[in-house]
Amino acid sequence: MKFADSPLLSQTVPAWRARFMLGALMLGFAALITRAVYLQGVNNEYYQEKGASRYARTLPLAATRGRISDRYGDMLAVSTPVRSIWAIPDDTKLQPAQVRELARLLDLEVRDLDRKLATDGDFVFIKRQISPELAGRVMALNLPGIHDQPEFRRYYPSGEVAAHLIGFTGAEDHGQEGMELAFDARLTGEAGSRRVIKDRRGAIIEDVEGARQPREGQDIRLSVDAKLQYQAYAALQDAISANHAKAGTVAVLDAKSGEILALVNAPTYNPNNREKLSGAQLRNRAFTDSFEPGSTLKPFTIALALEQGKVRFDTPIQTAPGHLTIGNATISDAHPHGVLSVAEVIQKSSNVGAAKIAGQLTPHDMWNNFDALGFGAPLKLGFPGEVGGRLRPWKFWKPIEQATMSYGHGISVSLMQLAHAYLVFARDGDLVPPTLVRQDGEPVAGTRVYSPQTAREVRAMLEMAVGPGGTAPKAQVPGYRVAGKTGTAHKLEGGVYAHKYVSSFVGFAPVSDPRLLVAVMIDEPSGGMHYGGDVAAPVFSRIMGAALRSLGVPPDAPEPPVLKMAAGTAPAKPAKPAAPPARAALAPKAMPVAALRVPRRPAREPM
């Protein structure tokens, strides 16, 4: 049978199938036409962006980070122009010799460079923040896919001297520590941009949009004096070395304005080379470390008692036999003294005397006094990591805790808190907030803590502590009257007092018109001496003397006589020591007891 006669050919396809297929094809063509119209006429941004990404680039225009200077305009942190080398991995078809030459110029391992060039994506940094000269040598190789761009690198002229104060920035030029972090928003500025067309080799053919200019960062002028900063740094470094101490910190404040003129730490680091740094090296201990202040807190206890009329300057306090038992605990003096006046309690630094005076005060009043001085809460200077110390609520104080807090145990403070609180005695009883930024306007009004009379009386006691018979004769500065207080406290480790010490001294000068305040803390001195008068007071003397002379502050005390002898002349025999002065004569001559406060009631019996 012929194929044409096959019965299969006599069967016809249903008409609906043909119409269905035709309709389906018509709908498909309609959908494609609709999609084409939508993409090319209605919503064409997507493919335009894809196309533009092949030849268009948006180049960032870096904003210059603001400069940081000292109060006189000397630069402490400045940005210098550098270049960064980057690549388009898909375009970098380099020969092995070219890879080796590029790695040699950039001081990279060849395998590290190969790994970067094999990265997925259209952008990778090869090396950042190199000198413009080196970048020019790299670009002179004319390697495909290798490009450079301008950036800025932070440079710190003062290096280790102001490292903890200024801090440093990271690779993206954002602050990581110190003032760089505290003022990062003001220093950073806002980057601009420039849109261009590039060929396949990355060369710019034309600009397609006007450049958006960057907004430069603001400059910051700190309150610190770079010269005083170096003087304090040198003195602290020598003290750390001489006393084989673990660490130390110094703060110098302007007693008139509360401005921080110097702030140094040891050990320190070089912010221009930060490859090997540990967390401990980065801490600004004046803000981030708290310690028990020891006897440096006694003046505040005495000031509160004077303010409330509980004692007078010359009220006798019985401290014999040199120890005091409260509950199951015993408070002791380093040396027994017998009957001491309130002024001599400060001069001799009697724990028993301070505890007995504190026994006349209520825990609530003592807590309010410490709170008004800024203890127990951060100073809110904006410095990263600033701590508030430890001040327990007064309702939970036990009698022994109230007694020990009177001489600086059972409470912790930072050195900056302690230095700030001492301003009340240098400023006639009012307290101004400290600042790290130079104040060019009117001085900020202070908050009244003590009456001027109370502040002057405590100031006289602090001057006695530095004079003959006091705990800190090594704090004296030739030509100037000095007032201050030593502190020596055991360190707490695991809730137990260890045989390790924190030695401190806080003082100001000249007493007749206080201009500068210096606070010193030496952590774990182990050179044979640990008392604040032996370890911290000499550091104060050196810094204060240099600072007063540097600022041209007139002396307010006679210079010690200079003995001159002709060659071969034997020294004269020492004169017979004079009889010890009466108690009333222990007060400084410029501020006799009678001139401080006239007693209105009979002297009390010794306590």
The pLDDT, as a whole number, for residue 212 is: 72
Instruction: Indicate if 53 belongs to the active site.
Output: no
Backbone CA torsion sign across 252, 185, 194, 92: positive
pLDDT value at residue 41? 76
264, pLDDT greater than 60: yes
Model pLDDT, residue 569: 42
pLDDT, tens digit, for every residue of 454-480? 999 999 999 999 999 999 999 999 999
Among 257, 295, 341, 406, the active-site one is 295
The percentage of the chain sitting over the pLDDT mark of 70, rounded to a whole number, equals 84
Q: Where are the domains of the chain?
A: 58-221, 226-272+279-556
Q: What percent of the chain has pLDDT over 90?
A: 60
Per CATH, 58-221 and 226-272+279-556 having the same topology is answered: no
Rounded-to-integer distance, Cα 128 and Cα 455, Å: 57
DSSP state of 513: S
End-to-end CA distance of the chain: 143
Q: Which residues contact 188 (CB under 8 A, 6 or more apart)?
A: 63, 65, 66, 173, 174, 175, 217
Write the class of the CATH domain 226-272+279-556: alpha beta
Residue-averaged pLDDT of the chain = 85
Of the options 3.40.50.620, 3.30.420.310, 3.30.1510.10, 3.90.1310.10, the CATH number for the domain spanning 58-221 = 3.90.1310.10
pLDDT at residue 128, as a whole number? 87
pLDDT for residue 196 = 63
Amino acid at 193: S
When mean pLDDT is compared across 40-49, 113-122, 202-211, the lowest value belongs to 202-211
Q: Do residues 544 and 314 make contact, with C-beta atoms less than 8 angstroms apart?
A: no
- Distance between CA 329 and CA 46 in Å, rounded? 80
Q: Indicate the pTM of the whole model.
A: 0.79
